[in-house]
Amino acid sequence: MSGRLSVVGLGPGDARYLTAEAVEALDAAHALYGYGPYLERVPERASQRRYASDNREERVRAAAALAHAAQGALVAVVSGGDPGVFAMAAAICEEIESGPESWRMLDVSIVPGITAMLAVAARIGAPLGHDFCALSLSDNLKPWHLIERRLDAAASAGFVIALYNPVSRARPWQFAAAIERLRRHLPPSTPVVFGRAVGRPDEQMDVVMLNAADATPADMATLVIVGSRETRVVDRPGRTPLVYTSRAVVEVSA
Ligand code: SAH
């Protein structure tokens, strides 16, 4: 029997964000692999085995899941959001590239999910309504000077910037440093959206200006969207404001 591996995006939290394809892949699996809190989101089935691992063990988890699938099992690896955005799909591809030849013969499917920046954007309006990019502030896998270079390039080129992994216990200062960097390129009134635990019961949305962004709390469950010169805030009495990025470009001198 030939094994199968699916890498399944669970979306940002609430089960309503699961796609029908993701539900099918989870139903079909003999074994589930993933970071513990993500596995807990998937309803238990008596016929399924679960292998929970720590968030930092992505390569080890990927190799274990591939080895299991190579034995003929139907294996699903779960990721929060989309598995291809700062998540397990790339770890699986890396292991296939460097692993035994037999892993290249496996039937591998990547099942997309709603990534955090899309869920946050939808809650507040349309901040990603025009050109944008996504950047992880984690310097676990890349040096900090490269992150700074990318922040400079993105902000000076006029992209809205979605910041994943803004803060963690091991990275307490990076977020404030990133905001300070962005202030070199963007006006102090640039809107910044903080979406925390979107799609979960403790969800929180905040909109501040860039000059106050480093004083606004962010944690590992927060996705930050830094606007561009085209991003506007529409205040609405008694309702949360709408934040959107206009499709009409403000000319910036080169
Ligand atoms: N694959 C995931 C991202 C993993 S990186 C995805 O596509 O969403 C982890 C980062 O994603 C977190 O530090 C945070 O910045 C963001 N994130 C994940 N889930 C979130 C949620 N429900 N609300 C806000 N941000 C979230």
CA of 79 to the centre of ligand 1 (A): 10
For residue range 1-14, what is the model confidence (pLDDT) as tens digits? Answer: 578 999 999 999 99
Distance, CA 82 to ligand 1 centroid (Å)?
Answer: 9
**Which residues are near ligand 1 (CB < 6 Å)?**
12-13, 79-82, 85-87, 115-116, 120, 164-166, 195-200, 220-223
Residues 163-184: tens digit of each pLDDT: 999 998 888 899 999 999 999 9
Mutate to test the pocket of ligand 1, among 19, 161, 222, 224 (most ligand atoms within 8 A of CB): 222
Examine the pLDDT at 18 and tell me if it is beyond 60.
yes
- How far is Cα 2 from Cα 69, in angstroms, rounded to an integer? 8
Q: In this predicted model, what pLDDT tens digit does every residue of 180-221 receive, in sequence order?
A: 999 999 999 999 999 999 999 999 999 999 999 999 999 999
Residue 140 has a pLDDT of 84
Task: Give dist(CA 72, CA 252) in Å, integer.
Answer: 57
Residue 252 Cα to ligand 1 midpoint, Å, equals: 32
**pTM of this structure:** 0.95
Percent of the chain with pLDDT over 90: 87
pLDDT bin (cut points 50, 70, 90) of residue 254 is low
**C-alpha distances in Å from residue 30, one per residue of 39, 48, 49, 69, 145:** 14, 5, 6, 10, 43
Q: Which of 38, 164, 171, 194 to mutate to test the pocket of ligand 1 (most atoms within 8 A of CB)?
A: 164
